[in-house]
Amino acid sequence: MEPYRTLMKVDATDLKTNETDDRGRVYLGTEYANKRVTVAVVEVESDRPDDDELTAAYRDAADSAAALTEEWSETSDEAWDTLDE
């Protein structure tokens, strides 16, 4: 059985932009109480970085930490060496 499909024309003034809560739910408002509502997701924007951006950021942070650790080790060795003199 195929799902019911129909082509609908939507006026741009009828579109609303709502924010979701932390569970992805949208509050439509009391004007839709006890009514059947059809909702279409037209566009999704996120203020959080995607997985590729996070991976690159973590990689950069790890590389920076490794470089800083190496630099600190050299500085620390130099400091200890000067104490012996």
Three-state DSSP state, 26: strand
Three-state DSSP state, 72: helix
pLDDT of res. 64? 92
pLDDT in 10s for each residue of the chain, 85 residues:
566 666 667 777 777 778 888 888 888 888 888 988 888 777 777 777 788 888 999 999 999 999 888 888 888 777 777 776 6
pLDDT of res. 84? 66
Q: 18, 27 in Cβ contact below 8 A?
A: yes
- Work out whether the CA dihedral 11, 17, 23, 28 comes out positive or negative: negative
Query: Which backbone phi and psi does 26 adopt, to 5 degrees?
Result: -115, 135
pLDDT of res. 2? 61
pLDDT of res. 10? 72
